[in-house]
Chain A
Amino acid sequence: MTAILSREMKAYFVTPLGYVFVGVSFIFSGAFFFLFTLTSPTPTMGVVDFSTMFTLMFFVLMVTVPLLTMRLLSDERRTKTDQLVLTAPVGLFSLVFAKFAAAFIIFVLSTAIMLVYGLVLSRFTDALNWWTLFGHIFGLIMVGAVYISAGLLVSSLTENQMVAAVISVFVNIGFLLTTLIASHIPSAFVAEIVANLSLLGRYERFTVGIFELENVLFFISIAVVFLFLTVRVLEKRRWS
């Protein structure tokens, strides 16, 4: 498992993908930081407000995270290197988890860069609450975990990385539309389930500075479900 993990992490920086992902994330978060936190400070109760910046990052991730996941499994299949990995003494879950972990670590590192904004601010103001910033970043990481696992599942379904990327973006948009879809479902029970799948609603709790364990568990369980489905897809392919 560690072998696959470290190979994947290196692969991000052998191809331009890793640089592009980190760079694009940094450009957007930097721009949002400048526009919505630095130059239009709207301190709520005397605290620096990051909420607009982090709400917007949620949307940016919908498009950038598929960059990280698109080739993880699709490319293995296209180049037939899956024959090496799947015939090595490694379990399917280890394989899927290693792939997930590689993308997740890169994602966490690129998100952690945002701590720099806190450092910059702390030089000039006392109105910075580090815990709020940590909460924001943690929320973003949770969303990232879901997007990565969803992207990994999509990547296991196709041989073409561009197709994987595009479908992943649509899946992420689908999560955004759950509230809208739910309002059109006649059955109240089903509507509630669908509405509760909304990532944005739960993520916004982080952006208003509220840390709730149920939301953390929600993101983790959704990610685990996607990883499980990915394992099933690989398993199913052996049998068809």
Chain B
Amino acid sequence: MIEVSNLVKSYGNNKAVNNISFTAEKGEILGFLGLNGAGKSTTMNILTGYISCNGGSAKLNGIDILENPIAAKKSIGYLPEQPPLYPDMTVDEYLKFVYALKKTKIPRNSHLNEICELVKIADVRHRLIRNLSKGYKQRVGLAQALVGNPPILILDEPTVGLDPKQIIEIRSLVKKLGKNHTVILSSHILPEVQAVCDKIVIINSGKIVANGTAGSLSANLNTDSNKLVMRIEGKSNEIEKLLAGVGDVTKVFVGAEVEDKVCEYHIETKPDSDVRREIFGRLSSRNYPILMMKSNELTLEEIFLRLTTGDNFPGNPEEQGGKS
């Protein structure tokens, strides 16, 4: 349905999009994840034919957007980052304009009614767009993308600026749309992509850094499941010895003193071993209270940050300055 291969877009020497390839099948929701400025909007603008690219190709519904833009554009509904609304029109006038602009063949009134019901803007159809709230504007923008029932929907940060209730509504709407459309959705909010998308593409400074389902991403990238972070009250050198004495522990690192007499300890163990009970037993027998113990398993959020910024995350002091 969507086939992007080796897409390149440069502004001067700066490559905004650098050799991106991915595919999305019919009925799939593909999440496009990256920090602001990573190249998400640029990619979407290329896919929709708003800007051109310097190399590579993008096929939508089997039609190359560069070779046959008008035919390809017919199968796309696009919601840009800022909904493209004319403030001086009413919602109804606007949708009728979009309907005519897209040369839609479906019977007009029933089609527009259906869309308005779907995105819940039926009650504001006769109001000027200028006077609508941000949430309504976003939904009118989404309605605009749906006009003509295009098989491909490209939504650039559809939930930005909405309140939590609206975010949930839009997410469930996108999920519903994903059943019979191919949807590409960009976001810099990870839980959103996690909640909605079948497939995730993480992009950082123009390059794809990860590509897969939510599950496969965390499985592949989670190399830190054999680490524990603990806070224990007591003499740090004694505790360190105690911890190092546990059979499967390979490394102990004493971190900063977080409270009076309480230090943070980072423990590495052999893979697939669980030392938590043994550690508890040893420490309690010596009367060192455990104030915190958690495994250092990465959340998807941390994977994302790690991939996109190369930053360290809390509780991993050994990687100071390290870039992954």
Contacts and interface: CB of A to CB of B under 8 A. Distances in A.
Contacts of B82: 80, 83
10 contacts: A79-B85, A79-B87, A84-B101, A85-B101, A86-B50, A87-B50, A90-B70, A90-B101, A91-B70, A238-B50
B180 to A, nearest CB: 21
Interface stretch (A7-15, A28-36, A141-149, A215-223): A7-15
Interface string B92-118: 010001101111000000000000000
Given A11-B88, A89-B70, A238-B52, A83 B100 contact: no
B144 interface: yes
Contacts of B102: 88-89
Contact of A80 (B71, B84, B98): B84
A166 to B, nearest CB: 23
B97 A7 contact: yes
B88 A14 contact: yes
Interface string B154-187: 0000000000000000000000000000000000
Interface of B: 11, 45, 48-52, 70-71, 73-74, 76, 78, 80, 82, 84-89, 93, 97-98, 100-103, 144
Minimum-distance CB pairs A-B, first 5: A3-B100, A84-B84, A87-B48, A81-B84, A3-B101
Of the candidates B50, B70, B84, B89, the one having the most CB atoms from chain A within 10 angstroms of its own CB is: B84
A15 B88 CA distance: 8
Tell me the interface secondary structure of chain A in the complex. Answer: helix
A4 B70 contact: no
Interface range on chain A: under 10, 10 to 19, 20 to 34, or 35 or more? 20 to 34
Contacts of A237: 51
B113 to A, nearest CB: 20
B87 to A, nearest CB: 7
B80 A80 contact: yes
Contacts of A15: 88
A4 B101 contact: yes
A80 B86 CA distance: 9
B108 to A, nearest CB: 12
A239 interface: yes
Contact of A2 (B86, B89, B98, B100): B100
Contact of B80 (A10, A14, A83, A238): A83
Nearest to B84: A84
Contact of B51 (A79, A80, A238): A238
Contacts of A81: 84-86
B9 to A, nearest CB: 10
A221 to B, nearest CB: 27
A233 to B, nearest CB: 14
Contacts of A90: 70, 101
Given A7-B97, A11-B86, A87-B73, 19 more contacts: A2-B100, A3-B101, A79-B84, A79-B85, A79-B86, A79-B87, A81-B84, A83-B48, A83-B84, A84-B78, A84-B84, A85-B101, A88-B73, A88-B98, A89-B103, A90-B101, A237-B51, A239-B51, A240-B11
Contacts of A4: 101
A6 B89 CA distance: 13
A2 B99 CA distance: 12
A225 B87 CA distance: 32
